[in-house]
Amino acid sequence: MSVCRPARCLLTRTTTTAALPKSSTTPSKHHFSTSTPRPARRRPHYPNIKASTLKLLNEAAETAHPKYQERELDLLSKKYTPSQLAAIRAAEQTIDARDLLTQSQRRTDPWRLPYDDDLAEVDPVTDHADKLSASDIKGRKDVRAANEIESNEAIAKLATAELAKLYPDGIPEGQLTFEQQNRLEEAMEAALTQAALDPRAVYTGDEDAVRALADHRHSVVLPDLPRIETRMAKATRRLANEEQEDPRQKRLLQYLGWDKQKLRDIRVKTLVTHGVTNQTRMGKIRSLYYLTIAGNGEGLLGVGEGKSVEPEEGRVESVIAAIRNMKPIPRYENRTIFGDLERKVGATKVELFSRPPGFGLRCQHLIFEMARAAGLQDLSARVPRSRNKMNVIKATWEALTNQKLPDEIARARGVKLVDVRKVYYGGSVH
């Protein structure tokens, strides 16, 4: 319909049909509304419950959850206070027994209670013990720091008590096997460590007051849950500050002769990441490719590649390859390169230029990251041709590692090279 037609055109059909007599065969006109018309009879959301079914439900609810009898109420009144008994009665009246029968169910999860409990008693394992105050301590509340002799006596006493718990039948005597000897040494070491950390070995004074220092009910810090001592738990347990040892990292440290601290000082950064596809007779196998650089910031730089179906495996492979491929980078005054360099890889050409002190790193981001990892501070670069990332990184690495030093050039020409600053300025190079 055109918007230029007058409004009366919309009402023409309505006025003409109003003048004609109504016919029973005339189809009904729809109203101008976006909502769908409702059917004549709507179905209920919930099925109707028959009286016989409701009667059976009531009988089942009364059988499963019967009401308290007078004899049971008398027993409850002996155990609970009147206010608690009133709360129990209010809960009984509020909760419908039919809802318990139709909606409630017994727990089947692994954390369910292994028995039916009214939770009236405090479980020392799963429940928090009631906190105690200073008024619960009998006698004087005077403590002082123990001297060395008192501390050693307390440690020996506490360690003996801990060993008695581990060996209720006494410490084994005679010839012990290798496993028994190791177990006994570990138990003694654990007992001495726990006794040394006990507050009763640090302070002395009134016996009740000192005992209260080691009681977790007098502390605002909740005690730790007991540890499950099984063979599987010991095999899978790992401390929070303990790193998971990677066999590839272990072989890398053996290859380089480094320690873990020196390996952590290496600066690593992944510069290229993209997906690759290998077409086989079984179909396309998609994997991820990583190109990573590694350097210590003091003249070592390496480039490594890695590819794997798993992202983390490919990245770790490229990192290890970059660390293994690290080579020394000659640096003039430990800040720039020796002269201008040029290298070509494929269609990519990289030009590097040495610069005076304070010039900084004025180059593209890939060369900037490589220069920072190698410890170069003054450098400029140009990439006049193709700027493929992989070729730029490889060309820059080859140019830095294949520099021609002035000493080598002088030796090849058969002349002597003298640095006037070392000769006339007392070796002040920087």
DSSP per-residue codes, 134-167: GGGS-S---EEE--HHHHHHHHHHHHHHHHHHH-
Q: What angle do CA 106, 108, 113 make, to 5 degrees?
A: 80
Asked if residues 316 and 300 have their Cβ atoms less than 8 Å apart, the reply is no
Give Cα 362 to chain centroid, integer Å: 38
Q: pLDDT tens digits, the chain, 430 residues: what are they? A: 444 555 444 444 444 444 455 544 555 555 555 666 666 566 666 667 676 777 888 888 888 888 888 888 888 888 889 998 899 889 888 888 888 888 877 777 777 766 666 667 777 666 777 788 888 888 788 888 889 899 999 999 999 988 888 888 888 887 888 888 888 888 888 888 888 888 888 888 888 888 888 887 887 776 666 666 666 666 666 655 556 678 888 899 999 888 888 999 999 999 999 999 999 998 999 999 999 999 999 999 999 999 999 989 999 999 999 999 999 999 998 999 999 999 999 999 999 999 999 999 999 999 999 999 999 999 999 999 999 999 999 999 999 999 999 888 898 898 888 777 767 666 565 5
User: Is the fold of 247-328 the same as that of 341-413?
Assistant: no
Q: In the beta sheet, which residues pair with residue 354? A: 379
Label the pairing between strands 341-345 and 327-328: unpaired
Sign of CA dihedral 364, 367, 369, 374: negative
Give Cα 54 to chain centroid, integer Å: 53
What separation in angstroms does the CA of 161 have from each of 154, 155, 168, 208, 379? 11, 10, 10, 18, 70
Asked if residues 330 and 405 have their Cβ atoms less than 8 Å apart, the reply is yes
Label the pairing between strands 348-354 and 300-308: unpaired
Q: What is the strand order of the sheet 379-382 is part of?
A: 341-345, 348-354, 379-382, 361-362
Distance of alpha carbon 340 from alpha carbon 400, whole angstroms: 10
Which residue in 332, 330, 333, 335 sits closest to 360, CA to CA? 335
DSSP state of 346: T
Residues 6+ apart with CB under 8 A from 428: 421
Instruction: Spell out the alpha helix ranges (H) of 20-103.
Output: 51-64, 70-79, 82-94, 97-103
Distance of alpha carbon 76 from alpha carbon 68, whole angstroms: 10
Reported as a single tens digit per residue, the pLDDT across 90-142 is 988 888 888 888 887 777 777 776 666 666 777 766 677 778 888 888 878 88
Token representation of residue 65: 């959850």
365 sits in which H/E element: helix 365-374
Strand runs (DSSP E) across 281-413, as ranges?
283-295, 300-308, 327-328, 341-345, 348-354, 361-362, 379-382
Provide the 3-class DSSP secondary structure of residue 271. Answer: strand
Which residue in 271, 267, 266, 269 sits closest to 366, CA to CA? 271
Residue matched to tokens 């050409």: 349
Class of domain 247-328: alpha beta
Residues 6+ apart with CB under 8 A from 337: 330, 331, 352, 354, 376, 379, 400, 403
Domain ranges across the chain: 70-101, 139-218, 247-328, 341-413
- Interhelix angle for 148-166 vs 178-197, to 10°? 130
Reported as a single tens digit per residue, the pLDDT across 209-259 is 888 888 878 877 766 666 666 666 666 666 555 566 788 888 999 998 888
Residues 6+ apart with CB under 8 A from 85: 73, 76, 77
- Interhelix angle for 365-374 vs 389-401, to 10°? 30
Q: Which fold has domain 341-413?
A: Ribosomal Protein S5; domain 2 (3.30.230)
